[in-house]
Amino acid sequence: MIDFEDFLKVDIRVGTVLAVEDFPQARKPAWKLTVDFGAEIGVKRSSAQITTHYGKEDLVGRQVLAVVNFPPRQIGPFMSEVLVLGLHDDANAVVVIGPERAVPNGARLC
């Protein structure tokens, strides 16, 4: 088990997807996302293996939750700056997590 203080170290914020690009170099099908996390965090990029349920047009304008305080991670030729969060469905495809209503970009999970 972890302490509550450990949980508080994980900075999970909401952001709005601004752009979605193909990522043909990824080992598994993925999109390159550009996400706006508001003035404090700014615009960040992420690689997300969410192509089963989401086309580009499904994601632009959608709010997603992401961990914003992990170190950047090199994914092939792409530097992923945040980890977009999701859950696996029965077929092991990822369903992204986001708020049920619009909230300000950068709002922290509490």
Tens-place pLDDT, residues 42-96: 999 999 999 999 999 999 999 999 999 999 999 999 999 999 999 999 999 999 9
Q: Write down the pLDDT at residue 20.
A: 98
pTM for this predicted structure? 0.95
Kindly list the domain boundaries of the chain, sorted by start residue.
4-96
Homologous superfamily in CATH for domain 4-96:
Nucleic acid-binding proteins (2.40.50.140)
Average pLDDT estimate for 10-29: 97
pLDDT tens by residue, 3-17: 999 999 999 999 999
Q: Which of 110, 104, 109 is nearest to 40 (CA)?
A: 104
d(CA 103, CA 55): 23
Question: Which residues, including other chains, have CB under 8 Å from residue 44's CB and lie 6 or more apart?
Answer: 15, 34, 35, 37, 66, 68, 81, 82
- What pLDDT, on the 0 to 100 scale, is given for residue 100? 97
